[in-house]
Chain A
Amino acid sequence: MPDTPASHESPLLEIQDLSVSFPGKGGTRFMAVDGVNLSIYPRQTLAVVGESGSGKSVSAMSVLQLIPTPPGRYERGRILWHDHAASHSADPTDLLALDDRQMRKIRGRDIAMIFQEPMTSLNPVYTVGDQILEAILLHQPVGREQALQIAEQALGDVGIADPIARLKEYPHQLSGGMRQRVMIAMALACQPRLLLADEPTTALDVTIQAQILELLRHLQNTKEMSVLLITHDLGVVAENADVVAVMYAGRVLEYGSVMDIFKRPLHPYTCELLKSMPVLGRRVDRLPTVADGATVPDDFPQGYDVAPHKVEVEPGEHYGGAEAKLYEVEPSHWVLATAASAAVRDKATPPRLTYRREPAAAAT
Chain B
Amino acid sequence: MTQITTGQPEPPSQPPALKRAATGAQRSMLRRVLGELVLYWSARIGLVWVAVLTVLAVFAPFFASSHPILMKTAEAESPGERLTVLTRYEPGSWSSPLLQHLTVADVLLPVVLFGALAVVFWRGVGGGRKLLAFMTFAGLVVVLGLWREQLWPFVTGGHETWWRDWQDWRGDVERVAGVPPRAPVGPFAWWVMLWVGLVLMVTVSALATAGTVMSVAGQAGRPQTFWPIAGATVAGTALWVGLVVWLGLAVWLAGLVLGVAGVVLAVVYRHDVPGRALGATALVSALLIGGWLVHAPVSPPRLTIFEQYRDAAEAGEIEWALHPPVPYSPDDRLRDQRGMRFQPPDSDHILGTTQFSADLAANMIHGTRIALSVGFISTGIAIAIGIVIGGLMGYFSGIVDLLGMRLVEMFSAIPTLFLLLAFVAAFGANLYIIMIIIGLTGWVGYAVFIRAEFLRLRQQEFIQAAQALGLPLWSIIFRHLLPNGVAPVLVAASFGVASAIGYEATLSFLGIGLDTEASWGLLLDQALRGGAFNWWIAVTPGLAIFLTVFAYILIGEALRDAIDPKTQLRNT
CB-nearest residue of chain B to A106:
B470
Interface size range on B against A = 35 or more
Chain A residues whose C-beta falls within 8 Å of the C-beta of B161 in the assembled complex: none
Interface pair B4/A215, CB less than 8 Å apart:
yes
- A292 and B158 CA atoms in complex are apart in Å by 93
Chain A residues lying within 8 Å of B470, measured Cβ to Cβ, are: 103-109, 135, 138-139
Q: CA–CA, A124 to B29, complex, Å?
A: 10
* B465 interface residue per 8 A CB criterion: yes
Of residues 215 to 237 in A, which have CB atoms within 8 Å of B's CB atoms?
A: 215, 217-218
Nearest chain B residue, comparing its CB with the CB of A135: B469
Contacts of B23 in A (CB 8 A): 148, 164
Decide yes or no whether A175 CB sits under 8 A from chain B. Answer: yes
Contact of A112 among B8, B398, B468 (CB under 8 A): B468
Tell me whether A126 is interfacial, beta carbon within 8 Å.
Answer: yes
Q: Answer whether residue B339 sits at the interface, using C-beta atoms and an 8 A cutoff.
A: no
| Residues on the B chain within 8 Å of A121, using CB | 461-462, 464-465
How many chain A residues touch B (CB < 8 A): the figure is: 65
Q: How close is B15's CB to chain A, nearest CB, in angstroms?
A: 10
Which of B271, B471, B479, B483 sits near A141, CB closer than 8 Å? B271
Tell me which residues across on chain A come within 8 A of B18, comparing CB atoms. Answer: 165, 168
A292-B469 Cα distance, complex, nearest whole Å: 41
Q: Decide: B480 and A164 in contact? CB cutoff 8 A.
A: no
Tell me which residues across on chain A come within 8 A of B22, comparing CB atoms.
129, 164-165, 167-168
Could you say which of A138, A158, A165, A172 contacts B469, with CB atoms under 8 Å apart? Answer: A138
- Taken together as a complex, chains A and B put the C-alpha atoms of A64 and B465 apart, in Å, by 11
Which residues on the B side are within 8 Å of A138 (C-beta)?
Answer: 469-472
Q: With A214-B1, A218-B1 known to touch, is A120 a contact of B462 (CB < 8 Å)?
A: yes
Q: Which A residues, 121 to 173, have Cβ-Cβ distances below 8 Å to chain B? A: 121-127, 129-130, 133-135, 138-139, 141-145, 148, 158-162, 164-165, 167-168, 170, 172
CB distance from B45 to the nearest CB of A (A): 26
B484 near A124: Cβ-Cβ < 8 Å: yes
In the assembled complex, the CB of B493 is this many whole angstroms from the nearest CB of chain A, namely 18
Given contacts A122-B462, A125-B29, A207-B7, contact A165 B566 (CB under 8 A): no
A117 contacts B by Cβ under 8 Å: yes
Q: Which of chain B's residues has its CB closest to A125's CB? A: B483
Inter-chain CA distance A164–B17, complex, in Å, is 12
**A70 sits at the interface (CB 8 A):** yes
Cβ-closest chain B residue relative to A69: B398
Beta-carbon contact of B26 and A133 below 8 Å: yes
Chain A residues closer than 8 Å to B272, beta-carbon distance: 143
Q: Is B4 touching A218 in the complex (CB atoms < 8 A)? A: yes
Q: Contacting B484 at CB < 8 Å: which of A71, A125, A141, A168? A: A125
User: Residue among B461, B470, B472, B480 with the most chain A CB within 10 A?
Assistant: B470
**For residue B84, which residues in chain A have a CB less than 8 angstroms away from its CB?**
none
**Nearest Cβ distance between residue B245 and chain A, in whole angstroms?**
40
Are B29 and A161 in contact, with the CB atoms below 8 A? no
Contacts of A161 in B (CB 8 A): 5, 8, 10
A105 to B471, CA, bound (A): 9
Q: Does B13 touch A at the CB level, under 8 Å?
A: yes
Between A and B, how many residue pairs show CB distances below 8 Å?
A: 141
Known A-B contacts A143-B221, A161-B10; A115 and B461 likewise in contact (beta carbons under 8 Å) = yes
Please pick, from B6, B398, B468, the residue contacting A66 in the complex, using a CB distance under 8 A: B468
Task: Provide the residues of chain B in CB contact with A168, threshold 8 Å.
Answer: 18, 21-22, 26-27
Complex Cα–Cα for A217 and B479 (A): 33
Assess whether A116 is interfacial by the CB under 8 Å rule: yes
Contact of B7 with A208 in the complex, beta carbons under 8 Å: yes
User: Is residue A186 within 8 Å, beta carbon to beta carbon, of the partner chain?
Assistant: yes
Residue from the set A105, A126, A127, A187 with the largest chain B CB neighbour count within 10 Å? A126
A339 within 8 A of B: no
Q: How far is the CB of B112 from chain A (nearest CB, A)?
A: 29
Asked if residues B462 and A123 are in contact (CB atoms below 8 Å), the reply is yes
| Bound: A218/B2 CA distance, A | 9
Given the complex, which residues of A lie within 8 Å of B1, measured CB to CB?
Answer: 214, 217-218, 363
Expressed in whole angstroms, the Cα–Cα distance for A207 and B8 within the complex equals 10
Q: CB within 8 Å of B: which of A60-116?
A: 64, 66, 70-71, 100, 103-109, 112-116
CA distance A178 to B303 in the complex (A): 72
Q: Hey, which chain A residues are within 8 Å of B398, CB to CB?
A: 70-71
Query: B-contacting residues of A (Cβ < 8 Å)?
Result: 64, 66, 70-71, 100, 103-109, 112-117, 120-127, 129-130, 133-135, 138-139, 141-145, 148, 158-162, 164-165, 167-168, 170, 172, 175, 177-178, 183, 186-187, 196, 207-208, 211, 214-215, 217-218, 363
Known: A120-B461, A218-B1. 7 other contacts (CB 8 A): A115-B464, A121-B464, A126-B29, A164-B23, A172-B566, A196-B468, A211-B6
Sampled A-B contacts (11; CB under 8 Å): A107-B470, A115-B464, A125-B483, A135-B469, A138-B469, A139-B470, A159-B8, A161-B8, A161-B10, A168-B22, A211-B6
